Amino acid sequence: MNLDLTEEQRLIQETAREFATAELAPVAGQLDRGGDREIFYTNLRTLAELGFMGLNVRDQYGGAEAGVVAFSLAITELARACASTAVTVSVNNMVCEVIQALGSEEQKQAYIPKICSGEFLTGAFALTEAGAGSDPAGMVSTAVRDGDHWVINGSKLFISSAATAGVFVVWAVTEPKAPKGKGISVFLVDAGSDGLIIGKAEEKMGQHASTTNEVLFHNCRVPDHALMGTVNDGFRTAVTELSGGRIGIGSLGLGLGLAAMDLATRYTLERMQFGKKISEFQAIQWKIADRYTELEAARLLLMQAAFLKEQGRPFAKQTSMAKVFATEAANRACYDALQMLGGYGYTTDYPIERYARDARITTIYEGTSEIQRLIIARSILNEFS
């Protein structure tokens, strides 16, 4: 694997960095405190115009065809400034990719260009339920065929971007008598469909500009052509296609960790204690050395996973390794950065406390660290057996 970036990858990375510095960073704190959401929406529309909503999507559907490595690079740069924007872009990309992988030609033409162009501000995944988070096969939402329609009932929790989504990718049980995980199908449900209800917004620890809502389905009727892929094969989709989303969240964590450590390291070169800069103390130097080493390792793991996916090779184990390592390294980086700033790190005068709050969820969504370790261990054990 050649670790040198291509000209296109470098251009995407630089464009994302410049946009994040000029447009996202100045308003991220304001949005975190509940500021004008129209600013957030405007930035998403601009990112769509720049091609960031379909980085691994074919040109015929309005995508950039830049690949998975470019996607990872872009999310890292956006997350350095605003994690809420980065996670929204990541989810939009994955919605497009899943539709591209599983949808009919009509479904691809109907939905992907609208997300890539910004006509649909966001897309959303409706997978998680109260009793089906780490265990999606345990979902109880149902879809029952009624003539040439399906009727969906149930509720979904913690759905990112639900309030602004133009389309929802929805999983539901279509064969209750099938073995666990075998009777689940996936549907495309338009926003505004009868029986689709956007529930309460969650009050979260971090990533405040990215809305997270409960989504309810009450006799929600969708046409038969809303079914995506093969009936009763949706769980495999959730396990395989969505694993690519872990590259996005790992990259988001990397961006947060780098932002925190960059700020803290600069601070140590200015802060004086005991008559010298605190960067001269070994305790501080070791934090800098350890955290940057881990973040560099995280970057390499993410690049490997992204490269394998881009090449069409098996990547599930590598994606889980990258996700668990990068997000846990990001949390350590944010908390060490806060420690390096001392009392100032605990105040809103510096964005370190926001980075720490935003980073905390990265070890939970798109599969918890515990689930990633199960996936990794099972893959290794299968290789030995």
- Does residue 18 register a pLDDT over 70? yes
CB 63 within 8 A of CB 56: yes
Distance from C-alpha of 19 to C-alpha of 25, rounded to nearest angstrom: 9
Mean pLDDT of 24-47: 97
Mean of per-residue pLDDT scores for the chain = 96
Which residues have CB under 8 Å from 132's CB, separation 6+?
Answer: 138, 139, 140
The predicted structure's pLDDT at residue 323: 98
List the CATH code of the domain at 7-122: 1.10.540.10
Secondary structure of 67-121 as H, E, C letters: CHHHHHHHHHHHHHHCHHHHHHHHHHHHHHHHHHHHCCHHHHHHHHHHHHHCCCC
Distance from C-alpha of 321 to C-alpha of 365, rounded to nearest angstrom: 15
- Does residue 2 register a pLDDT over 80? no
Q: For domain 124-232, is the CATH number 3.90.920.10?
A: no
CB 235 within 8 A of CB 181: yes
Give pLDDT tens digits for 126-147.
Answer: 999 999 888 888 999 999 999 9
- Does residue 46 register a pLDDT over 70? yes
| Structural domain spans, the chain | 7-122, 124-232, 238-384
The predicted structure's pLDDT at residue 134: 87
Mean pLDDT of 176-194: 94
> Do 7-122 and 124-232 agree at the fold level?
no
The predicted structure's pLDDT at residue 1: 60
The predicted structure's pLDDT at residue 235: 85
Mean pLDDT of 232-259: 90
Position 72 confidence tier, pLDDT thresholds 50, 70, 90: very high
The predicted structure's pLDDT at residue 245: 92
Q: What is the DSSP letter of 73?
A: H
Question: Of 115-119, 212-216, 234-238, 248-252, where does mean pLDDT reach its minimum?
Answer: 234-238
List the CATH code of the domain at 238-384: 1.20.140.10
Mean pLDDT of 327-356: 98
Return the active site residues: 366
User: CA 68 from chain center: how many Å?
Assistant: 13
Distance from C-alpha of 264 to C-alpha of 266, rounded to nearest angstrom: 5
The predicted model scores a pTM of 0.96
